[in-house]
């Protein structure tokens, strides 16, 4: 009668809820090898078939849970490693582009400086030539005054 909500004893029994799987329960199941949970009153083939499907999909023990967590951790690490590798490749590509641009800029600046140095050399050569010519004129003028 305690389970009977109206006290009539009419045979109505409220189904029990599924038990919560605590660490202690998981350890006990691992020892017993029993991972199947059923609600009270589920005796039809459909309900049993569903539970069997759930049992097959569920890990067999706490060790299986640890394996599932380890597997998930490994997948996450692999995903992270792939993302890191992609970022490394992108960084390397950008670094190569920057390095190429810097090399081009250095080559352009070097060529410009070489051209400017060549112009300065030509100008110095012209000034030296002018000085030599003026020296000759100066010597001629000084010799002509002496006579």
Average pLDDT over residues 17-33: 64
| Predicted confidence band of residue 41 (pLDDT cuts 50, 70, 90) | very low
- Under DSSP, the state recorded for 36 is -
User: What pTM, to 2 d.p., does this model score?
Assistant: 0.41
pLDDT exceeds 80 at position 60: no
Tell how far CA 123 is from the center of its chain.
58
**Of 34, 9, 11, nearest to 21 (Cα)?**
34
pLDDT of residue 40: 46
Task: Count CB-CB contacts under 10 A for residue 61.
Answer: 18
Task: Name the 3-class secondary structure at 105.
Answer: helix
Under 8 Å between Cβ of 56 and 36: no
21-25, 57-61, 110-114: least confident range: 57-61
pLDDT (tens digit per residue) in 63-120: 788 889 999 999 999 999 999 999 999 999 999 999 999 999 999 999 999 999 999 9
Tell how far CA 66 is from the center of its chain.
26
């Amino acid at each position: 009668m305690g389970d009977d909500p109206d006290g009539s004893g009419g045979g109505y029994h409220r189904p029990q809820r599924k038990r919560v799987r605590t660490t202690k329960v998981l350890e006990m199941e691992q020892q017993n090898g029993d991972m199947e949970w059923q609600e009270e009153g589920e005796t039809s083939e459909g309900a049993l078939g569903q539970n069997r499907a759930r049992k097959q999909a569920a890990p067999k023990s706490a060790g299986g849970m640890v394996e599932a967590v380890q597997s998930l951790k490994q997948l996450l690490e692999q995903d992270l490693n792939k993302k890191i590798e992609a970022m490394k490749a992108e960084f390397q590509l950008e670094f190569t582009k920057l390095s190429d641009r810097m090399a081009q800029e250095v080559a352009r600046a070097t060529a410009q400086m070489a051209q400017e140095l060549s112009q300065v050399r030509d100008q110095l050569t012209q000034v030296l030539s002018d000085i030599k010519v003026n020296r000759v004129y100066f010597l001629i003028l000084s010799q002509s005054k002496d006579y």
